[in-house]
Chain A
Amino acid sequence: MDILVTKKVTKRFGGLVAVREVDLEVKEHGIQSIIGPNGAGKTTFFNCVTGFYPPEEGDILLEGRPITGFSTDRVTKRGISRTYQNIRLFKNMTVVENILVGMHPHLHSNIVGGILRDPRTNKEEAAAVEEARRLLRFMKLGGQGDRLAKNLPYGAQRRLEIARSLASKPKLLLLDEPTAGMNPSETQDTMNLIRQLRDELGVTILLIEHQMRVVMGISELITVLDYGAKIAEGTAHEIQNDPKVIEAYLGRGKVSGSRAQPSATPPISTASTER
């Protein structure tokens, strides 16, 4: 079953078409990736799905219901949560508070409850803090809860951002370059963590990566964007040998040369679109 379906999503900035008629289906409980060179429109596509930008054309469906043009808070309440390419934590709040903000849609205390601290509010707060601590332990951030987010080391900030987005109990988690700036061993750890999220928490994961190598191991399906359009889709093996993908990453000259191996695996015909 597809949890997220986008149909011909297009986003323009003036004359520039950042995302061009992208169709995408994300399977429930899967790990899928979007890759593409710099400026391919990956993050813009994420922004369209999460409501940061309304797409000019096309439909976005979450579990079969349209969320096209929704504001970010409504998208989050429907069950999509995301991280950012450049870490965007609430820097001057503590780690636990960051998580608690992430839980916002699931908490119900209002201004009166906040002032009077009635038993219901207290119970809700205590349960939320307890859950936040459990989430932190799961993300290997146990014991760091009272530090300010800005004082965490880089890798921990990345993990905290994922933890914060998990706090809203999303059905679909969008990760925007979760391994940016990490060394190979940290990258491997993060990939293992992502797999763990899917296996243990049952979240569907869609991630953006810049480097193909990173996503090869864990993605069940890889979609390749270039100049805003989908140019290929398939398994890691299929993508690796797709001449269009090689062209997008390495340039046309190389493709016509010795590295093009169109005969090795034919690209999936339904997935590629003309540019």
Chain B
Amino acid sequence: MKTETSSSWKKAINSGLISGLISVLITLVGLVESFARSDVIRGVFTLGEIILFAPVIILTFSALKSASNSSKTTLVCISAVIGLITGFILTLLILLGQAVDLRVMFVNASPSLFNMLMRGVPLPLGALLPPLLCVLVALLILGIYLIPARPRSAIIRGLLWVIILGTLRDQLLLIDLFKVPAISSFLKQVIFASSGLKPIGALLIFVITAGSAYYSSVRKKGTATNQSIKAQKTKRIITIAALAVVVFSLPYALGIFYTEILDTTGYFIMMGLGLNIVVGFAGLLDLGYVAFYAIGAYTMGVLTSPGLGLFHLTFWQAFPIALLAAWLAGIILGLPVLRMRGDYLAIVTLGFGEIVRLLALSDWLKAYLGGTQGIQGIAQPVIGSLEFDTLQRLYYLILIGIAILAFIAWRLKDSRLGRSWMAIREDEDVAQAMGINLVLTKLLAFSTGALFAGMAGTLGAAKLTSVYPHSMTFIVSINVLVMIIIGGMGSIPGVFVGGLVLVGLPGLLTEFAEYRLWFYGLALVAMMLFRPEGLWPEARRKLELHEVEIDRELPSSEVASAGQ
């Protein structure tokens, strides 16, 4: 018993130190101050405060979870210790900031930051405020933790919704649908303040979201098992139909700001679908994937731009040529490179990506590729009398493109070729010994991936009506790769999830733009630690429709009796 308490003390102190150090880091990179003025609930709390207290909240919660068998007093002690240590580390930061000028190293360590941490209270007393507040926050978390599971998860969900909607106030009001006078006036008078939510609006959101979460969790428990297959099927059809309607109405319901984000997300999803074949299916790490996007976009530019005056094709005349160019580029790069494995392949493809970018940038090819100025005046697609010249119209074209590519990827995944790719990913030598022609199979993966990126490139060029070498950087390749990793290697729905999370979300949260790479790193590390298989991992197709016996876990009562 004694060792147990001492170990939980140790854990609490550890969690407190970690949370304190993360808080200091978050403060010093400027996250807290940047969002000090963006209210979540006007006059109650700001996003900056949530970010500041996020480490305490998360670490207290996880510490409580791992110590769930302890007595209530222990739990109180754990939360208090975590809060206290975090707070005192912040106090140390404040005192340090008074003694030394931290701004030499940390630009954000300004007097106003310390003033903010002390909430305007002058020094001797103000320095004691962070510990006090952190302890309060930790105890609040304990309070939430002690609520029974189902209402607790409903409450947490409600709080998250309040925070999300409060943070996104400005973006939400840009939605075209909300500009309808009746809705708009309701939102502005009841829900949203001039910044963040109104207290009453926050309460309303909380009640609705938490209530519906609670209701559905109660209902789920009752009826989860006894649904007939037919009912499930109709339910699925209804869901798909609803989803289709939503997807089709998005650009006009949401307006131009959102459509821009959706279009960009669309290109990235197209690229992600392609890279998913190369990396996710066949296991060939390609770090220069943007090169194929560039080749698609530049071919489109060269063939259609009147500015260069080389060719005067229409979009649809140039389209197959651009696809062919990207496909050939995939084969040309593939042939010499595919004998390499793993790291070597990654380095060579990385080099290829840079070569393509530098060629586009060079003065040598300026007459053909436009050099640093890129190519302007690229043709936009026209079908009949319908010109795809606005972001909203282009959205539908992108949607069709994504649908085709996702279909191809999905069909290939469960084909003879897809199996060969996966066998190569799993064990190249054995795959070859099974009679698979490595060169041909790898080339097919590489060139199919290149084709997908090329298609994304043509549509990307048409969207901007221009291409620039500066948008073809290494970071784009990394972006697509991270998308696949976060979504789940080899998973097609994972590409969509990854695209929405890593391209769509940052597009929405423009004020976070500075912290984008920070967020990427954080997301990747967290993913590898907690969910290495990705957000929506690949599911293998069932070919043998037997009931598979899965070892059932022992009922908890048996485990308990076995333990005694």
Q: B-contacting residues of A (Cβ < 8 Å)?
A: 50-52, 71-73, 75-77, 82, 84, 88, 90-97, 100-102, 104-105, 107, 109-111, 113-117, 121, 125, 129, 132-133, 136, 142-148, 164, 168
Inter-chain contacts of B423 with A (CB < 8 A): 90, 93, 101
CA distance A72 to B407 in the complex (A): 33
B105 adjacent to chain A (CB < 8 Å): no
A125 CB → nearest B CB, Å = 8
Contact across chains for A145 and B543 when beta carbons are under 8 A apart:
yes
Inter-chain contacts of B436 with A (CB < 8 A): 73, 101, 104
CA distance A91 to B422 in the complex (A): 10
> Interface digits, B397-430 against A, CB 8 Å rule (1 contact, 0 not)?
0000000000110011001111110110011011
- In-complex Cβ contact of A93 among B407, B415, B540 (8 A): B540
B386 adjacent to chain A (CB < 8 Å): no
A101-B431 in contact given A93-B540, A111-B444, A145-B544 (Cβ < 8 Å): yes
CA distance A114 to B413 in the complex (A): 9
Interface set, chain B 251-297, CB cutoff 8 A to A: none
B434 adjacent to chain A (CB < 8 Å): yes
B327 CB → nearest A CB, Å = 12
- In-complex Cβ contact of B416 among A50, A94, A104 (8 A): A104
Inter-chain contacts of A115 with B (CB < 8 A): 407-408, 411-412, 415
Inter-chain contacts of B448 with A (CB < 8 A): 111
Specify the chain B residue showing the minimal Cβ separation from A93. B422
CA distance A146 to B543 in the complex (A): 6
Contact across chains for A71 and B434 when beta carbons are under 8 A apart:
no
A30 CB → nearest B CB, Å = 23
CA distance A52 to B540 in the complex (A): 30
Contact-residue size bin, chain B (C-beta under 8 Å from the other chain): 35 or more
CA distance A133 to B546 in the complex (A): 11
Contact across chains for A114 and B429 when beta carbons are under 8 A apart:
no
Specify the chain A residue showing the minimal Cβ separation from B540. A94
Contact across chains for A72 and B433 when beta carbons are under 8 A apart:
yes
Interface set, chain B 512-564, CB cutoff 8 A to A: 540-549
B323 CB → nearest A CB, Å = 15
Known contacts A94-B540, A143-B549, then 18 further A-B pairs from the complex at CB < 8 Å, ordered by chain A residue:
A72-B432, A72-B433, A73-B433, A73-B434, A75-B433, A88-B427, A90-B427, A92-B422, A92-B426, A100-B416, A100-B419, A101-B436, A105-B435, A111-B415, A115-B408, A117-B411, A129-B543, A146-B548
- In-complex Cβ contact of B543 among A97, A102, A117 (8 A): A97
13 CB < 8 A contacts A-B = A50-B433, A73-B433, A73-B435, A88-B427, A92-B422, A94-B540, A101-B436, A104-B419, A105-B435, A115-B412, A125-B415, A136-B544, A164-B434
A143-B420 in contact given A76-B434, A101-B436 (Cβ < 8 Å): no
Inter-chain contacts of B548 with A (CB < 8 A): 143-144, 146-147
A114-B417 in contact given A97-B422, A97-B543, A146-B543 (Cβ < 8 Å): yes
Interface set, chain B 374-407, CB cutoff 8 A to A: 407
- In-complex Cβ contact of B430 among A90, A110, A132 (8 A): A90
Contact across chains for A143 and B546 when beta carbons are under 8 A apart:
yes
Contact across chains for A73 and B432 when beta carbons are under 8 A apart:
yes
A84-B417 in contact given A101-B423, A143-B548, A146-B546 (Cβ < 8 Å): no
Contact across chains for A97 and B427 when beta carbons are under 8 A apart:
no
Inter-chain contacts of A109 with B (CB < 8 A): 415-417
CA distance A117 to B423 in the complex (A): 21
B249 adjacent to chain A (CB < 8 Å): no
CA distance A109 to B422 in the complex (A): 16
B438 adjacent to chain A (CB < 8 Å): yes
A45 CB → nearest B CB, Å = 16
Contact across chains for B416 and A52 when beta carbons are under 8 A apart:
no
Inter-chain contacts of A136 with B (CB < 8 A): 544
CA distance A90 to B433 in the complex (A): 12
A96-B543 in contact given A76-B434, A147-B548 (Cβ < 8 Å): yes
CA distance A77 to B437 in the complex (A): 11
Inter-chain contacts of A107 with B (CB < 8 A): 416
A90-B540 in contact given A101-B434, A102-B434, A115-B408 (Cβ < 8 Å): no
B404 CB → nearest A CB, Å = 10
B390 CB → nearest A CB, Å = 32
CA distance A70 to B438 in the complex (A): 14
Contact across chains for A114 and B415 when beta carbons are under 8 A apart:
yes
Contact across chains for A148 and B433 when beta carbons are under 8 A apart:
no
Contact across chains for A146 and B540 when beta carbons are under 8 A apart:
yes
Inter-chain contacts of A145 with B (CB < 8 A): 543-544, 546
CA distance A143 to B549 in the complex (A): 9
Closest A-B pairs by Cβ, 10 of them:
A145-B544, A114-B415, A105-B435, A90-B426, A72-B433, A76-B435, A96-B543, A101-B423, A143-B546, A146-B542
Inter-chain contacts of B432 with A (CB < 8 A): 71-73
Specify the chain A residue showing the minimal Cβ separation from B438. A73
A72, A88, A91, A142, most chain B CB atoms within 10 A: A72
A143 CB → nearest B CB, Å = 5
CA distance A110 to B437 in the complex (A): 13
CA distance A115 to B434 in the complex (A): 23
Specify the chain B residue showing the minimal Cβ separation from A50. B433
CA distance A121 to B414 in the complex (A): 12
Contact across chains for A52 and B429 when beta carbons are under 8 A apart:
yes
B415 CB → nearest A CB, Å = 3
Inter-chain contacts of A95 with B (CB < 8 A): 544
A73, A97, A117, most chain B CB atoms within 10 A: A73
- In-complex Cβ contact of A104 among B435, B540, B545 (8 A): B435
Specify the chain B residue showing the minimal Cβ separation from A161. B430
Inter-chain contacts of B542 with A (CB < 8 A): 94, 146
Inter-chain contacts of B426 with A (CB < 8 A): 90-93
CA distance A93 to B542 in the complex (A): 11
Specify the chain B residue showing the minimal Cβ separation from A75. B433
CA distance A72 to B435 in the complex (A): 7
CA distance A95 to B419 in the complex (A): 12
Contact across chains for B427 and A143 when beta carbons are under 8 A apart:
no
A247 CB → nearest B CB, Å = 35
B108 CB → nearest A CB, Å = 45
Contact across chains for B433 and A97 when beta carbons are under 8 A apart:
no
A50 CB → nearest B CB, Å = 6
Inter-chain contacts of A110 with B (CB < 8 A): 416-417
A273 CB → nearest B CB, Å = 30
Specify the chain B residue showing the minimal Cβ separation from A150. B426
Contact across chains for A52 and B417 when beta carbons are under 8 A apart:
no
